[in-house]
C-alpha cells in the first residue's frame, strides 16, 4: 500500500533510512516516495483500463514539482484550481489536453491563461462564470470546451469541511439551471458545452455516495438526451478515501467494479480527478522531539513541527498515525503530541498511547502526502519545511527549507513610520 516500512527496527522509505535523510536536511521535513505515487496512479489506471479514462491528478493535494513530474511521466493529466497551478504544471511538461480547471471564483486572468494554454475544459460552477468565459473566449477568438459542474445534492458521508455536493455548499450548478444552460447553448457561441462534472467531497471510503451521485447524473443525462443535447465528457471528480487510521476504504479495483457498469452506460469519455488517493499515503512528515512535558494532569510530547507545517489535525480533526523512526523500548503512556505554535489547536495526536521518547528522537506523522505541505503557512514567522523525494536508494531535496530571508522578501517598513 505504501513504501514506508520498518527494516531492522528503523523506518525506511523505499531503500533509504529516513533518519539518514533527517541528519542531512534537518527537521521538520516532508518526505515522498516516488514508487508509492506511481503505484497508486497505476492502480487506478489498471482498475479502469476497460474505459481508459483521463486521470487528472488533483494537484491541490500536492503540488511539489517532483510529484507532478512523476505523475506527468506516467501519463497523468491534472485537475487545477488556479492560474498558479496552471503555470506550475506547465513546468513539468503536462499535456494541456489533459488539464481540467475547477474553481468557483476563476478570475479573468485565470480564464485567459487557461484558454491560451488550450486546456481540455473548464469545469464551470455558475451561470455568471459561464458568461464570463464566453466573453473572454470571444475576445481571444478561441472556442473553448465546457463541462458544467453540477451539484447533485447528495451527502458524501465525510467530514463537513470536505463535503461539497449538497446545495448547502458553494460548489456546482443545480440541475435545473444546468438544464436551462444546456438548452440555451446558442447564447454562448464561443463555448462548446459538452461535459458534465460532479465532485461530491473528499475522503469518501465507500462507493455508495459515488453511486448515488452517478445515478442522479445518469438520470440527468437521460433527460438531456431526450431534449437532443449531446455530451462527450463525464468528469466524476475525486474523493476516493484512504487509510489514515482504521478505515476500510474501497480499493481502486473495488471502486471500479462498483462504478464501471454505470460509467459504461453513459457512453461518455470519463475523466477522473483523484488527489488524496494518489498522494496521501505517499508522504510522511518527519519531526524531532524537543521536550516531554508532564503537568501532573497530562503528558505532552513537544516536537519541532507545528500546525503551520501540517494543518490537517487542527483543521479537520484528522487522525494521523504517528511512529518513532526507531522502534522504541521506552514505556508507552497516554500523551498529546504537539507543536511549538501558540495555539491549543496545534497538535498532531491527542490522547495517543506512545513511547516516552526523549529530546532528539525522531518521529513521523504518517499519510501526510496530500493536503500537507500545500496548506503550510508562515504562521509564527516559521519558514516552511523542505520537501524531499526518495526513488529507490536515491533521495533529493525537491524544495528547500524557507529561510528568514525568504520570509522577509517583499516586506518593508513604510516611509511614514520611519
Ligand X SMILES: *Cc1c(COP(=O)(O)O)cnc(C)c1O
Assess contact for 239 and 204: CB atoms under 8 A.
Answer: yes
Number of residues that bind ligand X (CB under 6 A): 17
By CB under 6 A, residue 256 contacts ligand X: no
Please, are residues 118 and 95 in contact by the beta-carbon 8 Å criterion? Answer: no
Q: Which stretch binds ligand X (CB under 6 A): 37-45, 235-243, 260-268, 409-417?
A: 235-243
The only residue of 3, 14, 63, 79 in contact with ligand X, by rule CB under 6 A: 79
Q: DSSP letters along 21-90, please?
A: HHHHH-SSEEEEEHHHHHHHHHHHHHHTGGG--EEEEETTS---HHHHHHHHHTT-EEEE-SHHHHHHHH
| C-alpha 43, offset from chain centre | 17
Helices (H), ranges, 82-207: 83-90, 108-117, 127-140, 175-183
Q: Which is nearer to ligand X, 102 or 191 (CB)?
A: 102
Q: Which stretch binds ligand X (CB under 6 A): 233-241, 258-266, 314-322, 401-409?
A: 233-241
Q: What phi and psi, each to the nearest 5 degrees, are found at residue 269?
A: -75, 125
Out of 35, 43, 60, 384, which residue is the one contacting ligand X (CB under 6 A)? Answer: 60
The grid cell for 251 is: 480499493
Give the contact letters, 144-173, x = binds to ligand X (CB under 6 A), - = no.
------------------------------
Dig out the grid coordinates for 140 from the structure: 481571444
Element containing residue 352 per DSSP (H, E): strand 347-355
Residues that are catalytic? 342
**How far apart are the C-alpha atoms of 16 and 30, rounded to whole Å?**
14
Q: Is 313 in the site for ligand X (CB under 6 A)?
A: no
Distances (CA, A) of 59 to 31, 85, 157, 195: 17, 7, 23, 21
Site for ligand X in 333-392 (CB under 6 A): 370
Q: Is 238 in the site for ligand X (CB under 6 A)?
A: yes
Of 12 and 276, CB closest to ligand X? 276
Contact 211, 157 (CB under 8 A): no
Q: Whole-number minimum distance, CB 143 to ligand X, in Å?
A: 23
**80 near ligand X, rule: CB under 6 A:** no
Q: Which range touches ligand X (CB under 6 A), out of 129-137, 234-242, 255-263, 378-386?
A: 234-242
Q: Cell numbers of 180, please?
A: 436551462
Nearer to ligand X, 172 or 306 (CB): 172
Is 199 within 8 Å of 171 (Cβ atoms)?
yes
Is residue 195 close enough to count as binding ligand X by CB under 6 A?
no
**Binding status of residue 58 toward ligand X by CB under 6 A:** yes
CB 262 within 8 A of CB 218: yes
Stretch that binds ligand X, among 46-54, 270-278, 283-291, 297-305 (CB under 6 A): 270-278
> Minimum distance between the CB of residue 386 and ligand X, rounded to whole angstroms?
23
209 binds ligand X (CB under 6 A): no
Contact range with ligand X by CB under 6 A, out of 6-14, 58-66, 107-115, 257-265? 58-66
34 binds ligand X (CB under 6 A): no
Cα separation, 270 vs 249, whole angstroms: 22
Indicate which single residue of 35, 276, 312, 384 sits in contact with ligand X (rule: CB under 6 A).
276
Cα distances (Å, whole numbers) of residue 406 to 13, 382, 410: 29, 11, 9
Sign of the torsion formed by the C-alpha atoms of 249, 251, 252 and 258:
negative
State yes or no: residue 239 binds ligand X (CB under 6 A): yes
Which of 171/220 has CB closer to ligand X?
171
Closest CB 257 distance from ligand X, rounded Å: 19
Task: Please tell me whether residue 200 binds ligand X under the rule CB under 6 A.
Answer: no
Of 237, 283, 355, 385, which lies in the binding site for ligand X, with binding defined by CB under 6 A?
237
The site for ligand X (CB under 6 A) is made up of 58, 60-61, 79, 102, 199, 202, 237-240, 273-277, 370
Amino acid at each position: 500500500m505504501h513504501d514506508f516500512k520498518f527494516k531492522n527496527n528503523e523506518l525506511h522509505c523505499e531503500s533509504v533510512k529516513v533518519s539518514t535523510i533527517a541528519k542531512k536536511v534537518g527537521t521538520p521535513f516532508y518526505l515522498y516516495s516516488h514508487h508509492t505515487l506511481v503505484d497508486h496512479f497505476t492502480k487506478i489506471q489498471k482498475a479502469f483500463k476497460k474505459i481508459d479514462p483521463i486521470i487528472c491528478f488533483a494537484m491541490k493535494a500536492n503540488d511539489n514539482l517532483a510529484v507532478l513530474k512523476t505523475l506527468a511521466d506516467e501519463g497523468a493529466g491534472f485537475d487545477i484550481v488556479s492560474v498558479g497551478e496552471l503555470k506550475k504544471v506547465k513546468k513539468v511538461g503536462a499535456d494541456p489536453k489533459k488539464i481540467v480547471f475547477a474553481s468557483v471564483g476563476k478570475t479573468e486572468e485565470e480564464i485567459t491563461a487557461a484558454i491560451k494554454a488550450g486546456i481540455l475544459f473548464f469545469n464551470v460552477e455558475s451561470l455568471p462564470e459561464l458568461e464570463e468565459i464566453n466573453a473572454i473566449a470571444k475576445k481571444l477568438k478561441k472556442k473553448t470546451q465546457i463541462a458544467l459542474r453540477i451539484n447533485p445534492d447528495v451527502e458524501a458521508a465525510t467530514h463537513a469541511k470536505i463535503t461539497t455536493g449538497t446545495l448547502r455548499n458553494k460548489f456546482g450548478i443545480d440541475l435545473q439551471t444546468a438544464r436551462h444552460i444546456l438548452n440555451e447553448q446558442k447564447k454562448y457561441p464561443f463555448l462548446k458545452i459538452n461535459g458534465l462534472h460532479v465532485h461530491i467531497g473528499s475522503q469518501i471510503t465507500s462507493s455508495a455516495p459515488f453511486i448515488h451521485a452517478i445515478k442522479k447524473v445518469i438520470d440527468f443525462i437521460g433527460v438531456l438526451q431526450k431534449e437532443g443535447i449531446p455530451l462527450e465528457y463525464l468528469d466524476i471528480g475525486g474523493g476516493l478515501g484512504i487509510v489514515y487510521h482504521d478505515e476500510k476504504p474501497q480499493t481502486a479495483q473495488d471502486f471500479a467494479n462498483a462504478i464501471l457498469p454505470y460509467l459504461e452506460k453513459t457512453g461518455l469519455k470519463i475523466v477522473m480527478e483523484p488527489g488524496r488517493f494518489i498522494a496521501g499515503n505517499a508522504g510522511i512528515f518527519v519531526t524531532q522531539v524537543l521536550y516531554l512535558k508532564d503537568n501532573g494532569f497530562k503528558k505532552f510530547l513537544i516536537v519541532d513541527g507545528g500546525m503551520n507545517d501540517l494543518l490537517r489535525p487542527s483543521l479537520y480533526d484528522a487522525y494521523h498515525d504517528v511512529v518513532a523512526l526507531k522502534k522504541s523500548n521506552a514505556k508507552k503512556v497516554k500523551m498529546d503530541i504537539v507543536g511549538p505554535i501558540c495555539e491549543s489547536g496545534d497538535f498532531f495526536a491527542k490522547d495517543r498511547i506512545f513511547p516516552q521518547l526523549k529530546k532528539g528522537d525522531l518521529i513521523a506523522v504518517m499519510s501526510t502526502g496530500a493536503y500537507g505541505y500545500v496548506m503550510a503557512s508562515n504562521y509564527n514567522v516559521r519558514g516552511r519545511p523542505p520537501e524531499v523525494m526518495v526513488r529507490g536508494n536515491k533521495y533529493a531535496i525537491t524544495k528547500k527549507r524557507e529561510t528568514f530571508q525568504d520570509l522577509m522578501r517583499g516586506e518593508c517598513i513604510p516611509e511614514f513610520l520611519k
